[in-house]
Amino acid sequence: MPEFDVVGIGLNATDTLLIVPHFPAYAGKAPFVEEIVSPGGQITGALVTCARLGLRAKYIGTVGDDERGRIQLESLRAEGINTDHVQVRRGCPNQSGYILIDRSTGERTVLWRRPDCLRLDPADIRPEMITCARLLHIDGHDTPAVEKAARIARSAGLPVTVDVDTIYHGFDRVLPHVDYLIASSEFPVQWTNERDPFKALEMIQAEYGMKVAAMTLGPYGALARAEGRFYYSPAFVVNCVDTTGAGDVFHGAFCYAVLEGFSLEEALEFSNAMAALNCMALGARGGIRTAADAYSLMRRAERRVHPDFHYRANSGH
């Protein structure tokens, strides 16, 4: 039996949240009401979600040797995530984000910086670091390193899930080794130059052959294509405090759903519920809840349906 359920390679970040009553006008000035330092990051957020859902998780990546790096590393260890292959880069600041949160809506604007000294090299990835798990979760950063990891996972028969939100040079060499693409709403259109998201997902799946090609839709849920048809899963309506980290939690929940053998419809609904719950608290990981909490929300919550996505997915158009 593998030592871990999921291994993740990719970004971590330590964020400073600035809560404002309303977003200021462009070039304007506004007071903020609260400042919070909070660990986040695409892959680490997903792994914390996996750990909270009871999975054995391992993180491969880099952190700076500054205070933000220490906060990130301590947060992962506190969640029981294995950090044996996390490199602490000397004299290098950790990736950081400054996140402006509009208290009236929960929407956020992110400013971030990742120094080049945090780059993960393909030589840092060895097969036994990947094959010790049942699933590999990656993002698009440090593309040569994640390509090597994805190749190792594919050759070992491990499912590969990917969280990608923008175009990275060389990412076309990663996609052939991906089983589950869960992209941002912008990525499929940017990648294919096809404005219709349905056609864009179909084109990506046809070219690279992944089992599932999907995209998150923010407040409207998620759209996926598998086995020649589309699946649309509407979002849950909650009292949104902060949307930071919702996508990361969605991906972690989806990894859990894959390992638990959920159908695609069940996986999308469960992941939407976990993401919605996270929006009910401040911070990228502030509202990560249990599977029982997600099932409770799924039973009682109102859905926010996008009429066009719902119609087209269910009519086969």
Give the dihedral of Cα atoms 297, 79, 9, 271; nearest 10 deg: 0
- Residue 17 located in a structural domain: no
What pLDDT score was predicted for residue 66? 98
Residue 1 lies in a domain: no
303 lies in some domain: yes
Whether residue 275 lies inside any domain: the answer is yes
Whether the CB-CB separation of 180 and 153 falls below 8 Å is answered with: no
Q: 141 in a domain, yes or no?
A: yes
Residue 316 has pLDDT above 80, yes or no: no
Question: Residues of the chain with pLDDT > 70: what percent?
Answer: 99
Domain containing 224: what range?
6-10+41-91+119-315
Instruction: Using the predicted structure, report yes or no on whether residue 317 has a pLDDT greater than 80.
Output: no
Residue 300 lies in a domain: yes
**Separation CA 61–CA 46 (nearest Å):** 14
Is the CB of residue 39 less than 8 Å from the CB of residue 12? yes
Q: How many domains does the chain have?
A: 1
pLDDT in tens, 175-186: 999 999 999 999
Share the mean pLDDT of the chain.
96
- Say how far residue 21 (Cα) sits from the centre of its chain: 27
Q: How confident is the model over 154-159, as a mean pLDDT?
A: 98
CATH for 146:
3.40.1190.20
Q: Is residue 60 predicted with pLDDT exceeding 70?
A: yes
Q: Which pLDDT band, with edges at 50, 70 and 90, does 50 fall under?
A: very high
pTM: 0.96
In a domain, 34, yes or no: no
State the average pLDDT over residues 6-33. Answer: 94
| Confidence check: pLDDT of 1 > 90 | no
Does position 272 have pLDDT exceeding 90, yes or no?
yes
pLDDT at position 201 over 80: yes
Residue 19 in any domain: the answer is no
| pLDDT tops 90 at residue 205 | yes
